[in-house]
Structure 1
């Protein structure tokens, strides 16, 4: 998407990188999300049998493709409810200061004094979230967050997340 904002050689480089990650991915160049729904939904695009025909070693751990060594992921869990104000302040500051290094963030949060689960997801400095209804009956109310990005170990993520716990 947003191909109108990138020069052709930039698009070619991005597509080449995507092809290294997933040579089977269907790439549709669009501007302003102008893709036909039938081009992106219901594709049943992943077929293990088809992949194994082309790449018999797909399921072995000794595979031959490249990973971006700079990109890592971390996740944290808290069984203690979080303080909404503390979390918003911490997360807002984190995105302002280090958002360019945070490729993706996701979470399900239990805020003290709130009955609903709060679900969020983010890309770089953009984050969206909303209450998603009550916690399922019989399931523990546990907050979980995941970050994917660069230089995550130097961001103090664990300490920041833990500091959001309600008193």
Structure 2
């Protein structure tokens, strides 16, 4: 329990203190530290504590964010219209998640569950989703997630695109998901996926993403990608939270393998057309 019992709001001094204390005193006996925020807390600041505090990152690394969704009441929270500039915390919790547990599925009809699942995938096309009753899920689903492990990101950025996604075929034509036309107006938070063959200039990618982060950092919640970079036999893996970007070389492409770039952005008021244009500007 931290001092004032609430874990949201800011990058937490008290959380840092507690993590360091646990790490120093009990380092040999702790495998995982599970942080439970209050019901509708903002996950961003807690995540940033791990990414931005150098002392903390020496001892502990963030494994992943798990969001438990109450199927019976979630839709009303996700659809709640907030005043301008006020963030909908329920939407944010879904947006930041690496794993989502749809709980209390026994209390809703199949059509309600389908509608909720569709809405959640529109907000976050990256997270793995599991259905549950009474919060019962396999422990492996919530521990050892590797949501921030660059070596494991590739399996997360899978070929399936969220419903707001677009694809591009070899001829350069784009195929945009149906969501583009019946746009969901009640959710300013969404996922955009880019899946395209081609080789990228890494310097151009760096410039593009730096500009993006500068302009949209606050609104860009999560980003993950596996890229095919010019002059390299290895994949380039990247991920980001807000303004914090991290990238490294991944495993080698197989000789016969199609080198397909996959990028997923999750954020508020994302402009898909601009993102795709920025991506195309990096192609060699």
Quick check: TM above 0.5? yes
Q: Is the 8 A contact 2:192 2:272 kept in 1?
A: no
Counterpart pick for 1:134 among 252, 266, 274: 252
Q: Structure 1 residues 125, 32: CA separation in 2 closer, same or farther (over 3 Å shift)?
A: farther
Alignment of 1:95 with 2:193, yes or no, is no
Q: Is the 8 A contact 1:73 1:147 kept in 2?
A: yes
Q: TM-score, normalised by structure 1?
A: 0.67
Q: In the alignment, what sits opposite 1:75? A: 193
Distance (whole Å) between structure 2 residues aligned to residue 112 and residue 150 of structure 1: 31
Q: Which runs of 5+ in 2 are unaligned?
A: 23-29, 35-62, 69-100, 124-186
State the Cα distance separating 1:97 from its structure 2 match: 1.2
Aligned-residue offset at 1:155: 7.3
Kept in 2, the 8 Å contact 1:120–1:130? The answer is yes
Query: Which has the higher relative contact order, 1 or 2, with Cα contacts under 8 A spaced 6 or more apart?
Result: 1
- Which of 16, 19, 25 is the matching residue for 1:31? 16
**Partner Cα separation in structure 2 for residue 70 and residue 136 of structure 1:** 39
Q: What TM-score, normalized to structure 2?
A: 0.41
The answer for the alignment partner of 2:105 in structure 1 is 55
| CA 53–110 in structure 1, closer or farther in 2 if over 3 Å, else same | closer
Please name the residue that 1:147 is paired with. Answer: 265
Secondary structure of the structure 1 residue equivalent to 2:259: coil
Superposition deviation, residue 138 in structure 1 = 4.0
Shift of 1:153: 1.8
Aligned equivalents of 1:148 and 1:94: distance in 2? 13
Residues 78 and 162 of structure 1 are in contact (CA less than 8 Å); yes or no, is this contact kept in structure 2?
Answer: no
Q: Structure 1: any 5+ residue segments left out of the alignment?
A: 15-28
Are 1:109 and 2:244 counterparts?
Answer: no
Mapped partners of 1:84, 1:128: distance in 2: 14
1:85 Cα deviation (Å)?
1.4
Question: How far apart are 1:11 and its partner, in Å?
Answer: 3.1
Q: Answer whether contact 1:74 1:146 (CA < 8 A) is retained.
A: yes
1:125 aligns with 243
Q: CA RMSD in A?
A: 3.6
Q: 1:30 to 1:158 in 2, by over 3 A?
A: same
Alignment partner of 1:131: what SS? strand
